């Protein structure tokens, strides 16, 4: 498929919209996944603290007084062993502790730490970093996850679970478990990174495609400008050569020079035809839009027949309308472009046919398309080469052998113009018998 400049603008707009959408979606997904990972971790920590709290022996807690004297009691030692073994089974924890509250002041009953640890607290030691929310657990008996908070030992999040006194239902202690926040942040970062990286990669890939496409578009424009300028510049010298050859032919009396003068004229004409074709092609390819309006195809065909009459008569070729061809045939199209299309196909039919044959134009239609058929009784196109004739600069071997001049650009132009209209060109051909070209145009324009 060939992109028109108009398509290219749309492609750029589409690429920008897609990139923006990808970024918005990936940022949205990153925020959502980050948040849900955070709340999952918090939930898991809360459940962990409640499980540990439930595993502790309430009678031992009830035996503690919340003073330094607890250190010598079996209940304290037993609880410390329990907390230490839970800590070793949970390697991400910094410390596990039991808090109490006395006259509004929070203090430590016991913790998982050995006396040489930074986090060790003596039994009954005040917990001065405790927050009002920590204290409130003694009143509302609701588990809590706090943090991440930073203190002199690092940043961590805490899961806090109440432990009730079975005799009166009051909160006798609160179990706390501090977990290093690095795991928490890392999990959130990983969860958010996946959509962010996906969005970024998608945007980058689109950007790369867009850059390649833009570079190609620039190269195409440059190439067609070059072709256009070059063909324009060639026209004058070619006209000069033709004029000079004509003049020499008229003045020439030497019979031996005649074939050479003919050769010069033929070559100059061939060159002229090539530059005209190339120029026409570059104009057609650069056109941003078609000027579509209903045009009478019968009239256009009459005009094209008129332009081709001389060359047809020279070959003894009759140009005919089949009875299927309507008197008036209005089709929405760019009339100038369609005239070029018809001109190319009819001139080919005349060029590539035998003397005294007939070229007929016929019409048929289906639900969606008009079909203009151009039927000749000419040399045909060899089956093995039929796929190549629309590719540009390709001439079938029998056309080359027949020494009929041509550039191989006409059908390429025909196809491009019809496709721009939403139509198409196809053909059926039998070598030595003839060819029927089918030019289709949409009914809705
Ligand atoms: P050219 O300038 O060579 O005519 P075109 O692009 O118009 O270029 O056609 C490409 C090739 O297709 C021709 O060179 C010829 O081999 C083949 N061709 C096109 N039209 C016909 C036809 N009506 N009959 C036989 N061959 C044809």
Q: Which atom in ligand 1 lies closest to the alpha carbon of residue 411?
A: 6
Q: Which pLDDT score is estimated for 25?
A: 93
Q: Is 373 in the pocket of ligand 1 (CB under 6 A)?
A: no
| Whole-number Å distance between alpha carbons of 297 and 281 | 22
Q: Which pLDDT score is estimated for 2?
A: 46
Going by C-alpha positions, the residue among 55, 176, 49 that lies closest to residue 110 is: 176
Q: Which atom in ligand 1 lies closest to the alpha carbon of residue 398?
A: 16
| Whole-number Å distance between alpha carbons of 201 and 142 | 45
Are 363 and 320 in contact, with CB atoms under 8 Å apart?
A: no
> What residue's CA is closest to ligand 1, atom 16?
396
Q: What angle do CA 363, 364, 366 make, to 5 degrees?
A: 150
Residue 285 CA, ligand 1 centroid: distance in Å: 20
Residue 346 CA, ligand 1 centroid: distance in Å: 11
With a cut of 50, list the residues of the chain below it in pLDDT.
Answer: 1-3
Provide the 10 A C-beta neighbour count for residue 212: 10
With residue 315 as reference, give the H or E element that holds it: helix 297-315
Q: Is 19 in the pocket of ligand 1 (CB under 6 A)?
A: no
Burial of 150 (0-12, 13-18, 19+ CB in 10 A): exposed
Q: Is 344 in the pocket of ligand 1 (CB under 6 A)?
A: yes
Q: Which pLDDT score is estimated for 7?
A: 59
Q: Is 410 in the pocket of ligand 1 (CB under 6 A)?
A: yes
Q: Which pLDDT score is estimated for 323?
A: 97
Q: Which pLDDT score is estimated for 445?
A: 62
Q: Which pLDDT score is estimated for 140?
A: 96
Residue 347 CA, ligand 1 centroid: distance in Å: 9
Q: Is 340 in the pocket of ligand 1 (CB under 6 A)?
A: no
* CB-based burial, 268-287: b 16+ in 10 Å, e otherwise: beebbbbbbbbbbbbbbbeb
pTM (2 decimals)?
0.54
Q: Is 376 in the pocket of ligand 1 (CB under 6 A)?
A: yes
Q: Which pLDDT score is estimated for 391?
A: 87
């Amino acid at each position: 498929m060939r992109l028109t400049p108009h398509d290219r603008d749309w492609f750029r707009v589409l690429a920008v919209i897609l990139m923006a959408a990808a970024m918005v979606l990936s940022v949205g997904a990153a925020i959502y996944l980050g948040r849900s990972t955070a709340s999952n971790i918090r939930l898991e920590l809360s459940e962990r603290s409640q499980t540990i709290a439930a595993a502790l022996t309430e009678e031992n807690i009830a035996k503690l007084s919340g003073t330094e004297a607890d250190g010598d009691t079996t209940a304290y030692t037993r609880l410390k062993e329990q907390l230490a073994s839970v800590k070793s089974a949970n390697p991400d924890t910094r410390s596990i502790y039991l808090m109490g509250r006395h006259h509004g002041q929070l203090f430590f009953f016991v913790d998982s730490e050995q006396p040489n640890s930074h986090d060790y607290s003596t039994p009954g030691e005040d917990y001065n970093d405790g927050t009002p929310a920590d204290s409130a657990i003694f009143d509302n008996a609701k588990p809590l996850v706090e943090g991440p908070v930073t203190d002199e030992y690092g940043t961590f999040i805490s899961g806090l679970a109440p432990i009730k006194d079975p005799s009166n239902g009051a909160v006798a202690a609160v179990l706390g478990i501090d977990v290093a926040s690095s795991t928490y942040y890392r999990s959130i970062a990983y969860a958010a990174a996946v959509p962010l990286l996906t969005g970024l990669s998608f945007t980058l890939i689109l950007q790369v495609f867009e850059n390649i496409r833009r570079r190609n578009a620039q190269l195409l424009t440059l190439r067609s400008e070059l072709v256009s300028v070059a063909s324009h510049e060639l026209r004058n010298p070619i006209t000069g050569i033709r004029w000079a050859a004509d003049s020499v032919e008229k003045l020439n009396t030497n019979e031996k020079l005649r074939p050479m003068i003919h050769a010069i004229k033929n070559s100059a004409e061939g060159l002229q035809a090539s530059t005209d074709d190339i120029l026409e092609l570059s104009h057609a390819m650069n056109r941003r839009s078609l000027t579509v309006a209903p045009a009478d195809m019968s009239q256009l065909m009459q005009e094209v027949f008129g332009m081709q009459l001389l060359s047809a008569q020279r070959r003894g070729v009759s140009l005919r309308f089949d009875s299927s061809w309507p008197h008036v045939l209005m089709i929405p199209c760019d009339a100038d472009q369609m005239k070029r299309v018809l001109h190319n196909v009819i001139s080919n039919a005349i060029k590539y046919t035998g003397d005294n044959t007939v070229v007929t134009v016929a019409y048929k239609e289906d639900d969606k398309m008009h079909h203009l058929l151009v039927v000749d009784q000419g040399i045909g196109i060899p089956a093995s080469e039929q796929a190549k004739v629309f590719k540009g600069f390709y001439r079938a071997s029998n056309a080359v052998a027949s020494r009929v001049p041509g550039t191989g650009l006409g059908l390429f132009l025909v196809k491009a113009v019809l496709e721009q209209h939403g139509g198409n060109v196809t053909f059926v051909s039998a070598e030595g018998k003839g060819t029927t070209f089918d030019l289709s145009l949409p009914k809705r324009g």
